[in-house]
Each structure stands twice: as structure tokens, then as C-alpha cells.
Amino acid sequence: MRFGVVRFPGSCDEVDALLACRRFADAELLWHGDADLGGVDAVVIPGGFSYGDYLRVGAIARFSPVMGAIGDFARSGGHVLGICNGFQVLCEAGLLPGALLPNTGLRFLCRQVEVEVVTADTPFTRACAPGDRLAIPVKHTSGRYYAPPQVLEGLQAHGQIILRYAPGDNPNGSVADIAAVSNGARNVMGLMPHPEHAVDPLTGSTDGGRLFESLARHVAERLAA
């Protein structure tokens, strides 16, 4: 099982994401200008400021060659995890519902938050149980998840809300405290918190590792089947 971690101009968390993936599987970097994924088994789109966040966060990155390949990969059932800027890119690309708006407090936030696992029967959270609390840091300026009311109802009805900020710990004004959502088929997930920064006791929590572990195990089992 091999992860591919995308590097855009302006990415800054791709190395942490790569190292987090390598705790559970093989992993390599993918270049934004390449239109093929080099045969990787799952894709991680990391955090950062792809293309300088010009125009809107994620708006330009979605037109890069690698995103065309990731769209095809996702539509054929491939697993894609978007973290922070990666979540924003996936929303702009239409691979996830909704959009990320500037934080209600208009400030860059950088702190540990508690998130609650809402849906555990997904490839990204299967090492967790519903209601589990994970301590994972956030660091962003545009993390306010928004979806129009009818879309939000659909997300709730189909179990696509995967993580929520714990009560009282919503840092950015996200609707319904949403920290992570998936697409309908649950093979694409985006989240604002940074699980790749929470894989080593040195940085205060290893809870983020459970998401990488979930995905590595899920994809490895699928490959073996």
C-alpha cells in the first residue's frame, strides 16, 4: 500500500503528511505538474497555501494537471484525503460538497482542538468509534465550513459528517460544528484539522495517526482482496 502526497507551489505540510503516511505504509511525493499519479493507492492533498491562495483558497490549484488525475482517481473509487488547504482544494474542485470561508473571527488560528468522531464506518475513521475524541491541531484563516441548508440536510442524512468540533470547541464558525466531511461514496474526505501534526507524542497527541492508520489498513485490505 503506497500513499501519494501532492506538492503544490505553496504547499507547506507535505513533508509532515509524508512522514505521517510512512508510519503506516509506503509514501512518496507527487508533483502538481504531473498528470499521472504514478500508480499510488491513495492520495493525500496536504495543507499550505497552494498558488498563494490567490483569488480564493484552493481556486487555482484545482486546475493543475495533478488535480485532473486525482478527479479521475476519485471518480473510479480511489481514496483521497484532503487536509486544510487540501480540503479547500477538494471543495473548489467539486469532489466534496460545500466551501470554506474566512473564520468568523477573521484571525489566523493555531491551536489544539478536540474533534468528535461522528461517523466511524468510513475508510478514514475505521480505527475509531463514534463519539471518540481526538486532539488534533488546527492552523488556518479560512476554515469556516459552509454548505447551503439543503446540502447540509443531505450530509446529515447520508452520514457524510465525519468529524465535528467538540461542543464549545468550534474555532472558526463552521456550520453544525463540522470539522470533516466526505463525498457520498465516502472515498473522499476533507478536514480542517491537521492529523499529520498529531502522530508523535513529542507534539502532544498521536490521535491524528488513527486517521492515517484507518486509511492505510482499509486500502491495503482492498488491494489484498
Sheet holding 178-182, edge to edge: 26-31, 2-7, 42-45, 79-83, 188-191, 178-182, 161-165, 109-117, 133-140
Q: How far is the CB of 54 from another protein (least distance, A)?
A: 11
The answer to whether 120 contacts another protein (rule: CB under 8 A) is: no
91 catalytic per annotation: no
Instruction: Give, in order, the Cα–Cα distances in Å from 61 to each of 90, 103, 141.
Output: 9, 21, 18
28 catalytic per annotation: no
The answer to whether 65 contacts another protein (rule: CB under 8 A) is: no
Q: Which of residues 125 and 142 has its CB atom nearest to another protein in the complex?
A: 142
One residue of 36, 38, 72, 104 binding another protein per CB under 8 A: 104
Looking at residue 110, its amino acid is: C
Stretch that binds another protein, among 25-33, 94-102, 153-161, 187-195 (CB under 8 A): 94-102
One residue of 103, 170, 174, 182 binding another protein per CB under 8 A: 103
Q: Which of residues 41 and 92 has its CB atom nearest to another protein in the complex?
A: 92
The answer to whether 150 contacts another protein (rule: CB under 8 A) is: no
Is 35 in contact with 68 (CB distance < 8 Å)? yes
Q: Which of residues 103 and 122 has its CB atom nearest to another protein in the complex?
A: 103
Is 5 in contact with 30 (CB distance < 8 Å)? yes
Find all residues with CB under 8 Å of 20, minimum gap 6, and list them: 195, 196, 199, 208, 209, 212
Q: How many residues does the chain have?
A: 225
The answer to whether 156 contacts another protein (rule: CB under 8 A) is: no
Q: How far is the CB of 74 from another protein (least distance, A)?
A: 19
One residue of 101, 120, 176, 220 binding another protein per CB under 8 A: 101
Burial of 51 (0-12, 13-18, 19+ CB in 10 A): buried
The answer to whether 133 contacts another protein (rule: CB under 8 A) is: no
Q: Which of residues 170 and 205 has its CB atom nearest to another protein in the complex?
A: 170
Q: Which of 111, 215, 98 minimizes the C-alpha distance to 161?
A: 98
The answer to whether 33 contacts another protein (rule: CB under 8 A) is: no
Is 190 in contact with 82 (CB distance < 8 Å)? yes
The answer to whether 184 contacts another protein (rule: CB under 8 A) is: no
Catalytic residues: 84, 194, 196
